[in-house]
Amino acid sequence: MRLAPLVRALAGPRSGPPAPRLSGPRLELRAPSLDDWPAWSDLRRESRAFLTPWEPSWPADALTAAAFRRRIRQYDRERRAGSGHAFLVFRRDAAAPGRAELGRSELVGAASLTNLRRGVAQSASLGYWTGRRHARQGYMQEALGLLIGWSFGPLGLHRLEAACLPANRPSRSLLEKLGFREEGLARGYLMIDGRWQDHLLYGLCREDWRAPQG
């Protein structure tokens, strides 16, 4: 498998902003790389039953290295075009006793900004997923807080939008904790798990955002 040309192509953008890295108390968010495929595919595989009710149907090759490379290419195109940003979310272990450096990081999930619009809109859509074993531990709330702060700060956006299935109460609760307001129901909004399904629409404007303290 000849990856060297692709690695060189992804090493830096030909145009557009560099891929950002966001750090919080427990987490780091960064753009995916080819080296992340084993951890990504393992976490997605073990979380499949947990994730598939809330996601588009997975293709047969969803977890393969080839499919992951296609994702990386698409993410890179969107970042260079200024139309989106994709992040993997990693939990940083505490430093080992007597050592200053951080321990190994562990993949928790992913978050993204898509359909980023400039001009009079200055908005984007927010997406995210968490691996089954990392759910309900506050990781995604911290991760999205970092991403929202960056979106309303250096990225210069004014509004973020998100959508979730009415039955996905954990996701609805997460958005509401972050300050998103429910704005309505979109019928047949997205094809999720093989069916066109209604979604609740949420929005958050910069003037309503309160960054976490401490």
Mean pLDDT value of segment 176-189: 97
The tally of CA atoms less than 13 A away on the side-chain side of residue 61 is 8
26 inside domain: yes
Q: Any idea which of 38-42, 73-77, 178-182, 210-214 has the lowest mean pLDDT?
A: 210-214
Q: What is the pLDDT of residue 133?
A: 95
186 inside domain: no
CATH number at 88 reads 3.40.630.30
pLDDT digits (tens, 9 = 90+) for 19-51: 789 999 999 999 999 999 999 999 999 999 999
Q: What is the pLDDT of residue 175?
A: 97
Task: Give residue 86's domain range.
Answer: 19-95+102-158
73 inside domain: yes
Tally of domains in the chain: 1
Indicate the SS3 state at residue 186: strand
165 inside domain: no
Mean pLDDT value of segment 188-212: 94
Cα(126)–Cα(163) distance, rounded to whole angstroms?
8
Q: What is the pLDDT of residue 80?
A: 94
Q: What is the pLDDT of residue 1?
A: 36
Q: What is the pLDDT of residue 17?
A: 60
Q: What is the pLDDT of residue 19?
A: 78
Is the separation of the CB atoms in 202 and 182 below 8 Å? yes
Mean pLDDT value of segment 146-152: 97
3-state DSSP helix/strand/coil percent for the chain, to nearest 5? 35, 30, 35
Within the chain, strands assigned E span 21-23, 27-30, 85-92, 105-117, 123-130, 159-164, 181-192, 195-205
What is the end-to-end Cα distance of the chain in Å, rounded? 46
pLDDT at 101 over 70: no
116 inside domain: yes
Provide CB contacts within 8 A for 36, sequence distance 6+.
68, 88, 107
Kindly tell me the sign of the dihedral angle through the C-alpha atoms of 40, 43, 44, 45. Answer: positive
127 inside domain: yes
131 inside domain: yes
38 inside domain: yes
